[in-house]
């Protein structure tokens, strides 16, 4: 596989930053574009520190088509990994127009620039939310019809359809990566998840309780039809997820069809309480929590069937729940307030 120069949209974000390091480690070059609306510029310095390589950064909003086209004209780009977008499920319900506008327009802008400059490889950051509420567990890529319960999720469904249609019409190669629940951090403790405001996901909430930023964890419901009554999800270490992007990128040219979906998950469900107690093991002490009512729309349990990624990409998760918790604690304890401002 020849080394590529890869544009990473949203490359300063949680998953994007870990993928930047994985690409550099595999001999590829990277160019980052990020508007820093949900990330900090200080991330870039840490990426350079960890990789020992220069990471060129363009700071603007990808919905600006002129700036996006100029970027493609000023940098040699062989492929794109598209992370950029708004991503909070609850906020998307309150601000649907902002979510549809940002997530769709940034994708249209990228596709127009790719067409103009002859770039034909794209890896897209999709989500397990595209399976909706009725897909049988474990989730398989063949499932139809895709649906979602929030504007965030529906924007991912729409973009998957857009990318598939454009790939067929314009001879692109597109991998649609459906993530399950990313957690963990780089083992150095230098980069990790730094949500702005109240976290939307379980793991950073637990970590902020452990570091003293929050009083206690709220567990939403303990009366689900699961082993311990709490909801089960498929957690994947962000380092494994980053490796999945490299595997997908390097597989694009060999894909038989223009666009193909891949689940990136472990294939195992872990309950809220199991993850919580694993974190307690990682830090060596008990943490406070309380059980409150279920949240509307939360499913009891789901996880991936990761067989397609294993068979076609040669990719599998390598890291355990205990690894995830230990790495998150290393990140959070070294960076109790997250990344410093620039």
The residues annotated with a catalytic role in the active site are 152
Strands of 51-93, DSSP E: 57-58, 79-82
CA distance linking residue 42 with residue 34, whole number of Å: 12
Residue 45 burial (C-beta neighbours within 10 Å; 0-12, 13-18, 19+) = middle
- Residue 23's Cβ-side half-sphere holds a number of Cα atoms within 13 Å equal to 31
Phi, psi (rounded to 5 degrees) for 124: -110, 135
Residue 174 burial (C-beta neighbours within 10 Å; 0-12, 13-18, 19+) = buried
Residue 293 has a CB neighbour count (10 Å cut-off) of 9
Strands of the chain, DSSP E: 5-9, 29-33, 57-58, 79-82, 121-127, 173-179, 181-183, 217-220, 232-233, 235-237, 259-264, 270-271, 289-292
CA distance linking residue 163 with residue 124, whole number of Å: 9
């Amino acid at each position: 596989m020849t080394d590529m120069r890869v544009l990473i949209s949203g490359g300063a974000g949680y998953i994007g930053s870990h993928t930047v390091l994985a690409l550099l480690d595999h001999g590829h070059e990277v160019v980052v574009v990020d508007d820093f609306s949900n990330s900090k510029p200080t991330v870039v310095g840490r990426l350079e520190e960890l990789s020992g390589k220069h990471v060129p950064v363009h700071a603007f909003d990808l919905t600006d088509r002129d700036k996006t086209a100029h970027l493609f004209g000023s940098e040699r780009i062989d492929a794109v990994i598209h992370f950029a977008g708004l991503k909070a499920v609850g906020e998307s319900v309150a601000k649907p127009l902002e979510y549809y506008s940002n997530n769709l327009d940034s994708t249209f802008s990228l596709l127009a620039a790719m067409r103009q400059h002859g770039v034909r490889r794209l890896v897209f950051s999709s989500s397990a939310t595209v399976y909706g509420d009725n897909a049988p567990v474990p989730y398989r890529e063949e499932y139809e019809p895709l649906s979602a319960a929030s504007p965030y999720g529906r924007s991912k469904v729409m973009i998957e359809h857009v990318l598939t249609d454009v790939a067929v019409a314009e001879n692109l190669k597109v991998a649609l990566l459906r993530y399950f629940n990313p957690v963990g951090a780089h083992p150095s403790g230098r980069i990790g998840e730094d949500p702005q405001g109240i976290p939307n996901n379980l793991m950073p909430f637990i970590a902020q309780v452990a570091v003293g930023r929050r009083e206690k964890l709220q567990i939403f419901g303990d009366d689900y039809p699961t082993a311990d009554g709490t909801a089960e999800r498929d957690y994947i270490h962000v380092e494994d997820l980053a490796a999945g992007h490299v595997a997908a990128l390097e597989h694009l040219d060999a894909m038989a069809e223009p666009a193909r979906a891949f689940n990136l998950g472990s294939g195992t469900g872990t309950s809220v309480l199991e993850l919580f107690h694993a974190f307690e093991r990682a830090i060596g002490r008990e943490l406070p929590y309380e059980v409150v009512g279920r949240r509307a729309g939360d499913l009891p349990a789901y996880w991936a069937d990761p067989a397609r990624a294993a068979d076609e990409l040669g990719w599998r998760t390598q890291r355990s729940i205990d690894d995830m918790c230990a790495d998150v604690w290393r990140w959070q304890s070294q960076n109790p307030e997250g990344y410093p401002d620039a």
